[in-house]
């Protein structure tokens, strides 16, 4: 291992322990590494950051963020909750099922796990508390279910992965590949919820009359149409994934401002400012991650790690298990965007040599990191959910473990049964 790589790793880990923001950890570590590579550090870092975000594909990120913000403030969550209650609320533990199904719907519309926790959890956790469900159980359901929105398209992290592969996979292909795994995770969480609802005798949700059910369905249709418009337009070849993001903004605007009338024109500047701030954070992470990845590639780190792993075993299944274990550990202390950008160039060559399709590996990578969103010490969704549920991380961790087990089982199924991921892309012509 070269001195530059040692400096890069030590600086990154030290700054991370000191609670420095991840983007700055990567940027400072990269500058120090360039100094030891006898390169003009400032110029080299700035060049790699600029070239890293100079991509037409990345335009989809601010559009999908803005679309999610409009949906989040436009009363969409409440209408989706009502619709989900019509579908599954009458079953035992119905409110837990409603929570999970709504998170799947809302996550698919907003593409943000944090937005799903805030919007759905802010409504469902108090409602479940009121109906006698355990507070920590309710928080666990919301936190884990919110991650399904990162697998069910559209998803910003899938756009980042497509960029990290250097164009080896298309964004549209990733979107299609995530549908079945996302649904499978949701079903796994529902099974766990049903078991504990029966065990603890949690009640059913409210039963809707036929007329009320029809009304709730029609109220939710405009929101659900966003998924159909985006995915249908991409599959039909009407527009690219980037263009689809702009269409999503237009549709979200019509719903939130014109149709539902829950977002006023005067609120749009603050939403656009929030979108700009969120986009700048993501782009800074992408830029510094790309600069750091360039250093790793220049020093042959991916090749060395690949050789080290292959030297341990040449068994495809054991190697996949090792990669899963590493990614699960990474997800506990690193945010999704930098983790995808750093570890994709490292592990993608290994899995391709094993005959794993890049689409398949992308879903494996994202599923691992989704679990990390629900675990300390970083656990964005976990801490947000605990704040909304007015409980502590220690209390929630005792209730959330069965949900983790369901997510890990689903991860292993998707890892070793490639059909789950590749079936829809295959029949859609993306493979």
Rounded to an integer, what distance in angstroms lies between the CA atom of residue 411 and that of residue 83? 28
Rounded to an integer, what distance in angstroms lies between the CA atom of residue 272 and that of residue 204? 40
Lowest-confidence segment of 75-89, 219-233, 236-250 by average pLDDT: 75-89
pTM confidence score: 0.85
Kindly state the average pLDDT of the residues 81-103: 79
Whether 363 has a pLDDT exceeding 80, the answer reads yes
Whether 337 has a pLDDT exceeding 80, the answer reads yes
Rounded to an integer, what distance in angstroms lies between the CA atom of residue 52 and that of residue 293? 10
- What is the share, in percent, of the chain residues with pLDDT greater than 70? 96
pLDDT at 203: 67
pLDDT at 185: 95
pLDDT tens track for 148-158? 988 988 888 89
pLDDT at 149: 84
Rounded to an integer, what distance in angstroms lies between the CA atom of residue 177 and that of residue 234? 13
Confidence category of residue 182, pLDDT binned at 50, 70, 90: very high
Q: What is the dihedral of CA 292, 296, 298, 301, to 10 degrees?
A: 180
pLDDT tens track for 54-85? 777 788 888 888 887 887 777 777 777 777 77
pLDDT at 207: 65
pLDDT at 421: 94
Confidence category of residue 193, pLDDT binned at 50, 70, 90: very high
pLDDT tens track for 194-210? 999 888 888 665 666 66
Confidence category of residue 365, pLDDT binned at 50, 70, 90: very high
Kindly state the average pLDDT of the residues 413-419: 94
pLDDT at 145: 92
Whether 227 has a pLDDT exceeding 90, the answer reads no
pLDDT at 412: 96
Whether 271 has a pLDDT exceeding 80, the answer reads yes
How does DSSP assign 257-295, residue by residue?
A: IIIS--S-GGGHHHHHHHHHHHHHHHHHHHHHHHHHHHH
Rounded to an integer, what distance in angstroms lies between the CA atom of residue 322 and that of residue 304? 16
Lowest-confidence segment of 51-55, 134-138, 238-242 by average pLDDT: 51-55
Are 70 and 263 in contact by the 8 Å Cβ rule? The answer is yes
Average pLDDT score over the chain:
84
Comparing CA positions, the residue from 358, 363, 111 lying closest to residue 245 is: 111
């Amino acid at each position: 291992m070269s001195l530059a790589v040692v400096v890069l790793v030590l600086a990154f880990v030290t700054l991370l322990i000191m609670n420095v923001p991840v983007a700055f950890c990567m940027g400072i570590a990269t500058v120090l590494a360039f100094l030891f590579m006898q390169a003009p550090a400032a110029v080299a870092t700035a060049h790699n950051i600029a070239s890293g975000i100079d991509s037409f594909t990345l335009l989809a990120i601010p559009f999908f963020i803005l679309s999610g913000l409009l949906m989040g403030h436009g009363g969409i969550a409440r209408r989706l909750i009502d619709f989900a209650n019509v579908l599954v609320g009458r079953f035992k533990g119905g409110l837990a099922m409603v929570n999970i199904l709504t998170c799947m719907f809302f996550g698919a519309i907003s593409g943000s796990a944090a937005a799903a926790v805030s919007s759905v959890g802010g409504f469902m956790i108090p409602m479940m508390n009121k109906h006698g469900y355990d507070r920590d159980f309710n928080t666990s359901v919301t936190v884990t279910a919110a991650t399904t929105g990162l697998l069910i398209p559209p998803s910003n992290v899938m756009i980042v992965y497509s960029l990290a592969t250097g164009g080896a996979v298309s964004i549209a292909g990733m979107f299609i590949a995530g549908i079945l795994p996302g649904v499978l995770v949701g079903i796994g969480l529902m099974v766990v919820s049903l078991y504990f609802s029966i065990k603890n005798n949690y009640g059913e949700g409210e039963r809707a009359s036929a007329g009320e059910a029809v009304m709730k369905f029609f109220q939710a249709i405009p929101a659900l149409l966003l998924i159909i418009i985006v995915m249908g337009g991409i599959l039909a070849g009407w527009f690219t994934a980037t263009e689809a993001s702009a269409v999503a903004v237009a549709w979200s605007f019509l719903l939130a401002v014109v149709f539902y009338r829950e977002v006023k024109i005067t609120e749009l500047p603050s939403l656009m400012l929030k979108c700009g701030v969120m986009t700048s954070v993501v782009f800074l992470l992408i830029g510094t991650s790309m600069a750091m990845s360039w250093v790793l590639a220049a020093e042959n780190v991916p090749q060395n790690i690949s050789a080290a792993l292959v030297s341990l075993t040449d068994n495809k299944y054991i190697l996949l298990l090792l990669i899963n274990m590493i990614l699960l550990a990474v997800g506990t202390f690193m945010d999704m965007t930098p983790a995808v950008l750093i570890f994709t160039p490292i592990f993608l060559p290994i899995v391709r040599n094993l005959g794993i399709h890049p689409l398949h590996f992308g879903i494996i990578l994202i599923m691992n990191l989704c679990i990390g969103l629900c675990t300390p010490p970083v656990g964005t969704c976990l801490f947000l959910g605990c704040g909304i549920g007015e409980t502590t991380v220690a209390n929630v961790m005792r209730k959330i473990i069965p949900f983790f087990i369901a997510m890990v089982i689903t991860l292993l199924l998707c890892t070793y049964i490639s059909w789950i991921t590749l079936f829809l892309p295959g029949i859609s012509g993306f493979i």
